[in-house]
Structure 1
Amino acid sequence: MSSLEKIAGRRAELDQLAEALAKQLAEVDAEREELAVAERVLRRLYEQEAEAAAGQDAGLPERVQVGGRSVLKVPHRSEVADASALPGDYQRMLQIVKAAGGPVMVKDVGAEPGIEVSVPGPRLERVLAKIAREGGSVVLLDGSLIPTQRRAGLPIRRRWSAKHKRRGLLGIALTDTRGRLLWTSAARPARGSEITACRHDDLVGRLRAAGLTAIADLGFVGLDDSGPDTDPAVITGYKKPKGKKLPPAKKLVNQLIAAERAVCEHAFAHLKNWRVLTKLRLDVKWATRLVRALMILTQHEIAR
């Protein structure tokens, strides 16, 4: 009887060991899948940077959009020194200015050739489509608090941020892998979270439509609820479980993501250098316009 009890006890121990090993194997498989996804995204990011560096080394002429058309930023040199060396549209513009005999508005010059001269705002769809056209595959996503002063007669509680313990407005921004600001969301009361602000703009859906992936910090965990079989639209790090330690592989992923996101933090730092953003007393609508105008000015300051 004692032998049977020993066998039964040993079998129970083996069953428990098998259950623990099966659970550990499932965790290892899940972690391997997550690492495979992160590896694919980082490979695409490195390939994109290598292609950009190769294009700069090759000295390829840079093209820009003017009036909805692609033209060379610096035209090719020509021995002809008069207006006949210019493209046809430019020659027609010169004729319109000469025929006016005085000051003429830009919209009037572009109306006759049928060229759109209005400057569209940096809308999210246009920004993502431009990145995709240029061969990009990764953008950087982050959010930041814009401090505000108290205004009497307004619902102040909506602007109170429990995370930062102060009043302010929340803004979401996208940058490229070189840290250039591409798009800023509308300023929203800081009571909401960064994930809620992104869902208001349907950021995940628009990233998927453009075929792009965003790299974000731990504040955006849960934004992308796609299944494990699809490429994620938002890549984030791993949070440490309560009372446990992160495995070395997940720590390495967090380090890689933090290294790639450093330029995004620099972009927000450049934007917040403007003193007008230190203590705003504006309505949300005007704060949005101010932030977007400062984004354009920041781009020009950095590009100088």
Structure 2
Amino acid sequence: MARAASGPTGGSAAEAGGGSRAKHKFVFVDGLLATLVSPRHGTTHDVLACWFGVDRSTITRAIGEVRPLLAQRGCTVAPGIRLGSLAEVIEHLGTDGRTGIIDGTEIRVRRPAAGRKDRDRFVSGKTKQNAVKAMVLTDTEGRVLFCSPVRPGSCADITQARQLDLVELLVDSPFLEILAAAGYQGMGAQSGGRVLTPPHRKFKKNSPAWYEERHEQQHKAHSSRRIRVEHGIAHLKNWRALARHLGRREHMSDIVQAVAALLSHQQTATLGHGLRA
């Protein structure tokens, strides 16, 4: 009689209607594949269970083990070199005086159940939808270097950056530029001019024509420099789970950081292949 195979969790893989024979030998590679397919295509655990011929609980358990491992890998900046924290990314950029670009991105999530005290915390002030927010940092080529854990959608971009100690990290680092959107205005003075944001509008109304023209030119010049972070975020959002997440909100930090790690590895490999060609 064939023995029941052990899955990624070390438990028995005998899943066939409570019988002693396993439908499928669910090994670690299968768990890794299920973990990749789920956020990439938004495939539910029930569907994955049908594909692999195991119970839904086996899929959930395997993804719960593999996903944190991917999230902890950090973002790849060169073959064999990964950065796992914001401090490491700032040090990496400051070594050669490189420019980084930051921006916040929102991911729609399910609304908390009625009666919960924190129900309104997830309502975004920008989109008026239930969401979580992550801060993304890329280089000038749009390669993802860092993606933060998520915060409720009501958290402002600048508040999230401060909670990540971005200002302190920049002040203690060699001089470098961090391009940011208007939502981060105020961090420039706090970081010694290291954070560059669009210029403030001095005239709220009845402004001279020459001022409007100059302000628009400066705004366009800044936007053209920081557009690469939008491209990086767009690549992240190609993963279905980051376009709209229908699962548990407490898993979002691991999901977004795992996707960022996988995407950065792909971008580095693609860039390296292009250089060799």
**TM class, shorter-chain normalised?**
0.5 to 0.7
Note if contact 1:151-1:281 (Cα within 8 Å) is conserved in structure 2. no
Rg larger in 1 or in 2? 1
Structure 1: 4+ residue segments shifted above 4 A = 118-121, 282-285
Are 1:129 and 2:91 counterparts? yes
State how far apart, in whole Å, the 1-side matches of 2:250 and 2:110 are: 16
Q: Give the corresponding residue for 1:296.
A: 261
Are 1:215 and 2:176 counterparts? no
Q: Structure 2 vs 1, CA of residues 257 and 182 (structure 1 numbering), >3 Å: closer, same or farther?
A: same
- Which of the residues 163, 170, 175 maps onto 2:138? 175
State how far apart, in whole Å, the 2-side matches of 1:210 and 1:173 are: 19
Q: Give the corresponding residue for 2:231.
A: 266
Structure 1 residue 181, shift from structure 2 partner: 0.7
- Which of the residues 195, 204, 221 maps onto 1:234? 195
Note if contact 2:103-2:229 (Cα within 8 Å) is conserved in structure 1. yes
Structure 1 residue 205, shift from structure 2 partner: 1.6
Q: Give the corresponding residue for 2:150.
A: 187
1:264-291 Cα shifts (integer Å, max 9, x gaps): 1100000001011232244554211110
Identity %: 28
Note if contact 2:108-2:131 (Cα within 8 Å) is conserved in structure 1. yes
Letter in 2 for 1:143: G
Letter in 1 for 2:113: A
- Which of the residues 96, 119, 131 maps onto 1:156? 119
State how far apart, in whole Å, the 1-side matches of 2:81 and 2:227 are: 31
Structure 1, unpaired ranges of 5+: 1-117
Structure with larger RCO (C-alpha < 8 A, sep 6+) = 2
Q: Give the corresponding residue for 1:18.
A: none
Q: Structure 2 vs 1, CA of residues 258 and 195 (structure 1 numbering), >3 Å: closer, same or farther?
A: same
State how far apart, in whole Å, the 2-side matches of 1:301 and 1:284 are: 26
State how far apart, in whole Å, the 2-side matches of 1:204 and 1:196 are: 11
Note if contact 2:83-2:145 (Cα within 8 Å) is conserved in structure 1. no
Structure 1 residue 247, shift from structure 2 partner: 4.6
State how far apart, in whole Å, the 2-side matches of 1:164 and 1:282 are: 20
State how far apart, in whole Å, the 1-side matches of 2:216 and 2:243 are: 35
Letter in 1 for 2:258: A
Count of residues in correspondence between the two structures: 183
Note if contact 1:180-1:299 (Cα within 8 Å) is conserved in structure 2. yes
State how far apart, in whole Å, the 2-side matches of 1:235 and 1:178 are: 18
Are 1:257 and 2:222 counterparts? yes
State how far apart, in whole Å, the 2-side matches of 1:183 and 1:164 are: 24
State how far apart, in whole Å, the 1-side matches of 2:157 and 2:218 are: 22
Q: Structure 2 vs 1, CA of residues 123 and 262 (structure 1 numbering), >3 Å: closer, same or farther?
A: same
Note if contact 2:171-2:192 (Cα within 8 Å) is conserved in structure 1. no
1:134-187 Cα shifts (integer Å, max 9, x gaps): x13321111111111124264321100121110000111111111111111110
TM-score, L = length of structure 2: 0.60
Structure 1 residue 251, shift from structure 2 partner: 2.9
TM-score, L = length of structure 1: 0.55
State how far apart, in whole Å, the 1-side matches of 2:84 and 2:142 are: 16
Structure 2, unpaired ranges of 5+: 1-79, 271-277
State how far apart, in whole Å, the 1-side matches of 2:244 and 2:236 are: 14
> What's the RMSD between the two structures over aligned residues?
2.3
1:202-230 Cα shifts (integer Å, max 9, x gaps): 2122122222221111111123334xxx8
State how far apart, in whole Å, the 2-side matches of 1:252 and 1:207 are: 28
